[in-house]
Amino acid sequence: MGRPREFDVDEALETAMELFWRKGYEGTSLTDLTEGMGITKPSLYGVFGNKEGLFLKALERYERTKMNFFHKALELPKARDVAERILRGFADSQTAETGPSGCLGINGALACSEAAAEIQKCLIENRHRGERDLGKRFERAAEEGDLPPGQEPYDLARYIMTISQGTAIQAASGADRAALYRVIDMALQFWPLPEKRTD
């Protein structure tokens, strides 16, 4: 029989996620991770492979737990409601009392050297994937007449994602949820609504 694991993998991964979220990928050292997770370096390597492997597992957890609002929002019937739910969901996550401020993806990708190019590439692709999913949802909205003619669905998706990235940086700099909500309300004033039918 193999030796039992000396730590709870789920709890360790939660700690790693919060460390990466707070300090970024390169700003989080192996010592930060092993001390925070309460494990040895051999245990870290044995379970997660290396720091990069641990980060990817932490990112997967972050997407599954902190960003689960995103795909739920895509199911809402109106495009404006989708946009609002996503923006407020990001703001809620970025200012949650139980975790670091800002966004793990933004914090992790902003300060990456060439040594962490693959991590930066992964984070950028993650954002692009979300933008594409949102663009497809707005494309459907355009087909359903839920957007006025001439609106480019993928530009709208980029607009929403750009605002969410801005609120992440604001949150990491100390802005509270109420301040982010005011920004979101202003941004949504420019949302293109379909013309009301008169027939």
198 versus 28: the higher-pLDDT residue is 28
State mean pLDDT over 134-151.
95
Q: How many CB atoms lie within 10 A of CB 121?
A: 12
**pLDDT, the chain, mean:** 89
Sorting pLDDT into bands at 50, 70 and 90, what band is 5?
low
Distance, in Å, from the CA atom of 121 to the CA atom of 125, rounded to the nearest integer, reads 6
Distance, in Å, from the CA atom of 116 to the CA atom of 72, rounded to the nearest integer, reads 31
What is the gyration radius of the CA atoms in the chain, in angstroms?
A: 19
Sorting pLDDT into bands at 50, 70 and 90, what band is 109?
low
Structure confidence at residue 26 (pLDDT): 85
119 versus 73: the higher-pLDDT residue is 73
Structure confidence at residue 199 (pLDDT): 46
DSSP string, 79-137: HHHHHHHHHHHHHHHHT-TTS-SS-HHHHHHHT--GGGHHHHHHHHHHHHHHHHHHHHH
Tokens of 41: 């370096």
Distance, in Å, from the CA atom of 63 to the CA atom of 70, rounded to the nearest integer, reads 9
Report CA-CA distances (Å) from 185 to 85, 94, 96, 118.
12, 17, 19, 36
Q: Model-level pTM?
A: 0.87
Sorting pLDDT into bands at 50, 70 and 90, what band is 4?
very low
3 versus 165: the higher-pLDDT residue is 165
Say what the alpha-carbon torsion angle 114, 167, 151, 76 is, to the nearest 10 degrees.
110
